[in-house]
Amino acid sequence: MSKTTQTDADLRAILANQQRLDSRLLWLFMLPFLITAVTVAMFFTISARLTDVEVGTKLVTIERILESDKNYAWAVDQYERIAASYSNAPILARLGVLYFLLDPNNQDVAIQKLEMAKRIDPKYWEIYRSLTYIYQATNRPKEAIESGRRALELNKNDANTYNNLAWVYSTSKEPTYLNLQLAQEYAQKAVMLTMEKQPNFLDTLAGIYFRRGDRDHALDSLRKAKAAALDQSGYAQMIQVHFERLFPNDTL
């Protein structure tokens, strides 16, 4: 090998070693930044999860207290505080129905909250369930039916919506929406899904049977409703009043 060729080989070897050294130095230089980036990402992920847990704990506490004392004004205030910094579809949907339960005159703000929830997550079924309830309670059958159908598309086992639609179809003052056959099918579905344990749903079904002239099934449903209401405060008296109105000469 000539002296020139040997020199060229030595230079190539030196350059190759220099390149490997540069690569290693680059990795050593970048490593702290990579570690920092991963650490920051993990921090935000953990922080988000901790926030989720904290919010979830607060919601459970609010619902537990609400169940015991029915303080809807306090519950609305607590949900508004959470929504101010942690707003999502479930929280806004619950806030909407709480406004309505606090006072039916709040229907506009209740619907506004539910529409806000819908913009965040248009496939969150509880939005439509709550809208069905509010529209049914405020005698807006067209909107109730539209919302109810959407709720059932998203959750075919939504017993509450079946019951609300049954009520709309069986009590509507507008002939367009009066359909006792469909009302009975929906009410029976609600009763079946709740295994005859929900007195309000049984009461709805009884009213539909009565309107269709089926006194025997109406009376049977009311008796089941009374039995189911024994464990639920407030329902037993409601069932008794409804029975006396429909069957003044009978005994429940």
Give the containing element (helix H, strand E) for 78: helix 72-85
Residue 175 DSSP code = G
Contact 68, 89 (CB under 8 A): no
Amino acid 87: pLDDT: 82
Q: Is the pLDDT of residue 75 over 70?
A: yes
125-145: average pLDDT: 96
40-56: average pLDDT: 53
Amino acid 42: pLDDT: 45
pLDDT tier, 50 (very low <50, low <70, confident <90, very high otherwise): very low
Mention every residue, 6+ apart, whose C-beta is less than 8 A from residue 29.
none
Query: One-letter amino acid identity for 53?
Result: V
- Tens of pLDDT along 186-240? 999 999 999 999 999 999 999 999 999 999 999 999 999 988 887 555 566 777 7
**Structural domains of the chain ordered from first start:** 58-156 (1.25.40.10), 172-252 (1.25.40)
64-76: average pLDDT: 91
pTM: 0.73
Contact 129, 151 (CB under 8 A): yes
How many C-beta atoms surround the C-beta of residue 112 within 10 A?
Answer: 14
Contact 92, 113 (CB under 8 A): yes
d(CA 166, CA 145): 10
